Chains A and B, each alone.
Chain A
């Protein structure tokens, strides 16, 4: 087979392209962190309290719920999907948890996780098996799951959560709030999943080129259903933090979380065109949005403006993403 070696010429323009691709990738990865740091610096200059350690921990705490959901959302987006129902899953599963905690800690937690898993599985099966558009399916279940949460207690909130539960999901370990630890662990596990496991590779493959994945023998349906189930179960986890911090569960809890989560994933570098995303980036994305809201609050800017600011930052992130990806 030696004559073949002489025939195939080394990639001529390849080197340049490759180098450009690599540096572009680096810029993108770095830009997520740089953007976050820059934002924090700006607020540190504008206010006296922003950079205080206690406030920084506050930001992390406030961002943790969104971060946990954003990690699941990132996996979904990496398969070129979208999950709009996460906020409703938060609401439904947290109602179930609050209700069943009376039967025991593990009963409440377990039942709520199952609810998240089933909600995700329904999304996944409708999308993967019945080939329905992800946007419509999860827009529909957004309404269905929210309705179920309202029906569950006829719209009434549930008060009085057990102490252990609140200690687990809104406590401290060595002065670090447990939600922050939870978010870090979830993001790290997801990062390892994407980076090192076959499933992670297949998530990239399904989003990057579904046809290629299929022809390579990847079970696309299973991969898709799996990411929606992960998204569902992480929404349940986020719901625990939500109700543990408030001390009560409301059927409307978690409304609007989908936008925050999608925003965090996109700021973190996930591409809605599929195949690209990084759970650790999404963690930083969540911190960026959290820091933004916190900073604006400290500057006494009315909360209505925070909606505007969050949206603008998300759109800017997409713009930056498009710009750095443009072949030049």
Chain B
């Protein structure tokens, strides 16, 4: 990591490749960007930081021509002032976007995806030619990928490599990555970083968007921080400490909220016990979680972490073993049984599994709470409103209005509503699957505080997370899952590090 030394080697002195000046964009009267200046140099990785809603995505969409700015100018060093009126124009100018929701067509093969949109109409697609060209690009980036493999058969990491190749196939000189690591394993992430460094060495200009500070520290040369549609800081990475960046992003001091001491171990009565539990995906899981305890589940995606939660919540049928909740054996054949026993699951895919975007906060809160707030099928609106209002206040849900449509809330606030719903059911066991995925740093701190308070009130928490710092911050004990088995359950002592956990996940390493 180069620090801010004279004669910078990170390309700061070079003239910019792309310049955006005074970019303004309003959606329905709300100004998402209020005059943003942004410049990008070839051979640099430029991290774009900011909370959700700060304007990062809008800025990238403007750069890629998906939306048009209301005001402001864009210039490219090799063309001059440009108007980017669509993705096709952006691609032609050498600007590529590797988006968060990977934009590949699963039904087409690798080469077809790389060259999609380059031929039109009734022309015969020069398939062999495209395959050869794709091969040449893949040889550099991902030699293990075959050009004729259908994309639906590829994993996330490989799909990402195909997207990068697609940009390169158009002679891409500027490549933006929008949260590229959110679904990668640590190994895949390192592989991606190697690719990004290659691209950088080849003189490409890279924009990198991520919420994960340790990634930014590892890969970025320069940073630009957006807050509420304005640039609040821009400069070499080395000029900013991590806590300074967090402060800039959130606009307030977070260090105390974020970095509370590692939790002290608790001795308490077991609330949740798994005794040699097996399902089709996991085998012989033994785990006990006490009142007031937070246990983390660590491991790679697909290792069986989430499958353990699904077993407890009655989604995956338990083929062997017992699950005991509060001393009584629970035979949950479906989630409704688990709920009745006081188990709550806060799923990873909030949009898909936990909420209804077009219903308002109160209605979303009421989902699954019909028993409590209903009488003979009629919803007791008054009681429900009073309940959600108290949660909104207590959990600092923003905006503090119960009739806001759920889709207009940020990820962090949506998550709070989901948690509030479970609190109202009186659940004692909380299962969290990636509780802070896609949630910005300010809201993250609040979610952490919330989890700690749940535990302090005597609930038993199981947290699945890919973010090891998160587990080390929150959990009393951490269980490492791989291949559908619990490899190890370790107390989260001061000596436990991310490296240990990664080694355990890979099936080796001792404390």
Q: A205 near B116 (CB under 8 angstroms)?
A: yes
Question: Given contacts A4-B195, A21-B153, A215-B64, are A198 and B123 in contact (CB under 8 A)?
Answer: yes
Q: Is the CB of B107 within 8 A of A8?
A: no
- Bound-state CA distance A235–B125 (Å) is 28
Which of the 9-residue segments B25-33, B135-143, B430-438, B461-469 touches chain A?
Answer: B135-143
A26 CB, min distance to chain B CBs, angstroms: 13
Whether A137 is near chain B, meaning CB under 8 Å from some CB there, is: no
The yes or no answer to A201 lying at the interface (CB within 8 A) is yes
- 0/1 per residue, B112-152, Cβ < 8 Å to A? 11001111111111010000000000001111110001101
Residues of B close to A7: CB separation below 8 A: 190-191, 194
B143 lies within 8 A of A205 (CB): no
Residues of B within 8 A of A9 (CB): 144, 187, 191
Complex: A275 Cα to B106 Cα, angstroms: 8
Given known contacts A199-B121, A208-B107, is B116 in contact with A218 (CB within 8 Å)?
yes
Please give the distance in Å from B231's CB to the nearest CB on chain A: 26
For B153, give its contact among A14, A197, A214, A216 (CB under 8 Å): A14
Q: Interface digits, A1-36 against B, CB 8 Å rule (1 contact, 0 not)?
A: 101110111110110011001000000000000000
Given known A8-B143, A8-B144, A218-B117, contact A209–B125 (CB-CB < 8 A): no
From A17, A212, A213, name the one whose CB has the most chain B CB atoms within 10 angstroms: A212
**A17 contact set on B, CB distance < 8 A:** 153
Nearest A residue (CB) for B116: A216
Alpha-carbon gap, A14 to B119, bound state (A): 29
Q: B104 on the interface (CB 8 Å rule)?
A: yes
CB-contacts of A196-234 with B (<8 A): 196-199, 201-202, 204-205, 207-209, 211-219
Among the 9-residue stretches B48-56, B95-103, B286-294, B479-487, the one with 4 or more Cβ atoms under 8 Å from chain A is B95-103
For residue B219, CB closer than 8 A to chain A, the reply is no
A207 to B141, alpha carbons, bound, how many Å? 28
User: Is B377's beta carbon under 8 Å from chain A?
Assistant: no
Residues of A within 8 A of B120 (CB): 198-199, 202, 219
Total interface residues in chain A, CB < 8 Å? 37
Q: Is B87 within 8 A of A209, CB to CB?
A: no
The answer to whether B87 and A216 touch across the interface, beta carbons within 8 angstroms, is: yes
Q: How far is the CA of A21 from the CA of B107 in the complex (A)?
A: 11
CB pair A1–B152 under 8 Å, yes or no, is no
The residues in B between 35 and 83 inclusive whose CB is less than 8 angstroms from any CB of A are: 64, 66
Compute how far the CA of A198 lies from the CA of B127 in the bound complex, rounded to whole angstroms: 10
The reply to whether B124 and A216 contact each other, CB–CB distance below 8 Å, is no
Judge whether A209 and B105 touch: CB under 8 Å.
yes
A215 close to B122 (CB less than 8 A): no
**Of the candidates B64, B91, B102, B194, which one forms a contact with A4 in the assembled complex, judged by CB atoms under 8 Å apart?**
B194
Knowing A197-B123, A209-B105, the reply to whether A11 touches B144 (Cβ < 8 A) is yes
Return the chain B residue nearest A212 by Cβ: B103
Chain A CB within 10 Å, residue with most, of B103, B105, B121, B152: B105
Shortest distance from the beta carbon of B190 to any chain A beta carbon, whole Å: 8
In the complex, how many angstroms separate the beta carbon of A266 from the nearest chain B beta carbon? 17
Known: A201-B116, A208-B105. A11 touches B154 (CB 8 A): yes
Across the two chains, which residue of chain B brings its CB closest to A274? B107
Q: Are B153 and A215 in contact (CB under 8 A)?
A: no
Flag if A209 contacts B153 (CB, 8 Å).
no
Asked if residues B117 and A10 are in contact (CB atoms below 8 Å), the reply is: no
Tell me whether A4 and B141 are in contact (CB under 8 A). Answer: yes
Task: Specify the chain A residue showing the minimal Cβ separation from B138.
Answer: A8
Which of B122, B125, B198 meets A1, CB within 8 Å?
B198
Q: Which residues of B contact A207 (CB under 8 A)?
A: 107
Please, which residues of chain B bring their CB within 8 A of the CB of A211?
101, 103
What residue of chain B has the Cβ atom nearest to residue A200's Cβ?
A: B125
Instruction: State whether the Cβ of B200 lies closer than 8 Å to any Cβ in chain A.
Output: no
- Chain A residue at minimal CB-CB distance from B108: A204
> With A14-B155, A214-B87 in contact, do A209 and B150 touch (Cβ < 8 Å)?
no
**Which residues of the other chain, B, contact A18 by a CB distance below 8 angstroms?**
149-150, 153
In the complex the two chains form, is B195's CB within 8 Å of A217's CB?
A: no
CB pair A275 B105 closer than 8 Å? yes
Q: Nearest Cβ distance between residue B119 and chain A, in whole angstroms?
A: 4
B153–A212 touching, CB < 8 Å:
no
Q: Which residues in chain A, 268-312, are within 8 Å of chain B measured between CB atoms? A: 275-276
Contacting residues of chain B (406-423) with chain A, CB-CB under 8 angstroms: none
**Do the beta carbons of B117 and A216 come within 8 Å of each other?**
yes
Contact A199 B99 (CB under 8 A): no
Contact of A205 among B108, B123, B142 (CB under 8 A): B108
Q: Which of A207, A208, A209 has most B Cβ within 10 Å?
A: A209
Cα distance, A214 to B87, chains bound together (Å): 7
Which residues of A in the span 130-180 have a Cβ within 8 Å of any Cβ on B? none
B222 to nearest A CB, angstroms?
24
Q: Which residue of B lies closest to A7 (CB)?
A: B194
Task: Name B88's closest neighbour in chain A (CB-CB).
Answer: A217
Indicate if the CB atoms of A204 and B105 lie closer than 8 Å.
yes
Q: How close is A136's CB to chain B, nearest CB, in angstroms?
A: 19
CB neighbours (8 Å) of B103 from chain A are 209, 211-212, 215-216
Task: Tell me the smallest distance from the CB of A14 to a CB of chain B, in Å.
Answer: 7
B166 contacts A by Cβ under 8 Å = yes
1/0 contact string of B176-195 vs chain A (CB within 8 Å)? 00000000000100110011
Whether a CB of chain A sits under 8 angstroms from the CB of B242 is: no
Q: Which chain A residues lie closer than 8 Å to B142 at the CB level? A: 8
In the assembled complex, B322 has its CB within 8 A of some CB on chain A: no
A57 within 8 A of B: no
B152 pairs with A21, CB closer than 8 A: yes
* Cβ contacts A184-206/B at 8 Å (1 or 0 each): 00000000010011110110110
**Nearest CB on A from B365, distance (A):** 30
With A197-B123, A215-B97, A216-B166 already in contact, the answer to whether A202 and B140 are too (CB < 8 A) is no
Residues A4 and B150 in contact, CB atoms below 8 Å apart: no
Chain A residues with Cβ below 8 Å from B99 are 215
Asked if B158 CB lies within 8 Å of chain A CBs, one says yes
The answer to whether A275 touches B107, judged by C-beta atoms less than 8 angstroms apart, is yes
Q: Identify which of A4, A10, A209 contacts B140 (C-beta below 8 A).
A: A4
Residues of B within 8 A of A216 (CB): 87, 91, 103, 113, 116-117, 166
Please name all residues of chain A whose beta carbon is closer than 8 Å to the beta carbon of B153 when the two chains form the complex: 14, 17-18, 21
Q: Which residue of A lies closest to B125 (CB)?
A: A198
Residue numbers in A under 8 Å from B87 (CB-CB): 214-217
A-B contact pairs, 10 of them (CB 8 A): A11-B154, A14-B153, A197-B125, A199-B120, A201-B108, A202-B116, A212-B113, A214-B87, A216-B117, A217-B86
| Chain A contacts to B: CB under 8 angstroms | 1, 3-5, 7-11, 13-14, 17-18, 21, 193, 196-199, 201-202, 204-205, 207-209, 211-219, 275-276
B-to-A contact residues, CB < 8 Å: 64, 66, 86-88, 91-92, 97, 99, 101-108, 112-113, 116-125, 127, 140-145, 149-150, 152-155, 158, 161, 166, 187, 190-191, 194-195, 198
Closest 6 CB pairs of A and B: A217-B88, A212-B103, A198-B119, A217-B117, A216-B117, A208-B105
